[in-house]
């Protein structure tokens, strides 16, 4: 900042940089927060919709992993167990446990994942709003600096003189 810039414009490079950075944080926080909050809301809504196709789409990787584990258990049973009727019963039990695991997984994920994403989204929205308020305060401080500078005081005095002259005429 030059001497003349400081004297006539009330310039403060630290304030200018802080104002810009606060704006960037505000933009990031609100954009990311809105995205996460929307994603969490959609996730929660889809899980709670009762639409099995939406649930299957959301949880496809986890469902696939459990199905692969169940198939591996059946393969192991077929290769190493005796060939009696017990093998079929054991394989049926594997399927029953897999279905029960799906239900448990949906219940657990509904509350935990959506809640955590919503909390993160809300936190980022709060951060963005706070940074936006900081940016407004920095802008106000910058306006105060300008109006308190020599140039700003001169402009105010000149405007006051012109106003007084016009009213007296």
Residues 6+ apart with CB under 8 A from 55: 46, 47, 49, 106
- What are the tens digits of pLDDT across the range 122-131? 888 888 888 8
pLDDT at residue number 82: 64
Residue 141 CA to residue 133 CA, distance in Å, equals 12
Please check the confidence at residue 68 and state whether its pLDDT lies above 50: yes
Give ∠ CA 78-80-86 in degrees, rounded to 5: 60
pLDDT tens per residue, range 9-61: 556 677 778 778 888 888 888 888 888 888 887 887 787 777 888 888 888 88
- Report the pLDDT value the prediction gives residue 1, as an integer from 0 to 100: 47
Both tokens assigned to 97: 């446990």
- Alpha carbon separation from 24 to 17, 33, 122, 139, 142 (Å, rounded): 11, 14, 18, 14, 18
Angle between helices 85-148 and 60-80 (to 10 degrees): 160
Residue 72's pLDDT is: 86
Classify residue 149 by its DSSP letter: S
Q: At what angle do helices 85-148 and 13-48 cross, to 10 degrees?
A: 150
How far apart, in whole angstroms, are the C-alpha atoms of residue 13 and residue 10? 10
Encoded tokens for 136: 């407004």
Q: What is the pTM of this model?
A: 0.44
Question: Cα(83)–Cα(90) distance, rounded to whole angstroms?
Answer: 11
Domain residue ranges in the chain: 12-163
């Amino acid at each position: 900042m030059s001497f003349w810039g400081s004297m006539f414009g009330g310039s403060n490079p630290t304030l200018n940089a802080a104002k810009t950075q606060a704006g960037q944080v505000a933009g990031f926080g609100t954009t990311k927060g809105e995205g996460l909050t929307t994603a969490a809301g959609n996730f929660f809504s889809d899980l709670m919709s009762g639409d099995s196709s939406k649930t299957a789409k959301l949880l496809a990787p986890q469902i696939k992993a459990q199905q692969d584990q169940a198939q591996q258990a059946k393969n192991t049973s077929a290769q190493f167990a005796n060939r009696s009727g017990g093998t079929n019963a054991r394989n049926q039990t594997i399927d029953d446990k897999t279905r029960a695991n799906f239900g448990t997984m949906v219940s657990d994920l509904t509350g935990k994942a959506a809640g955590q994403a919503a909390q993160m989204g809300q936190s980022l929205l709060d951060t963005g709003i706070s940074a936006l308020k900081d940016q407004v305060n920095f802008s106000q401080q910058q306006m105060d600096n300008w109006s308190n500078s020599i140039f700003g005081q001169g402009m105010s005095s000149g405007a006051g003189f012109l106003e007084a002259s016009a009213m007296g005429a």
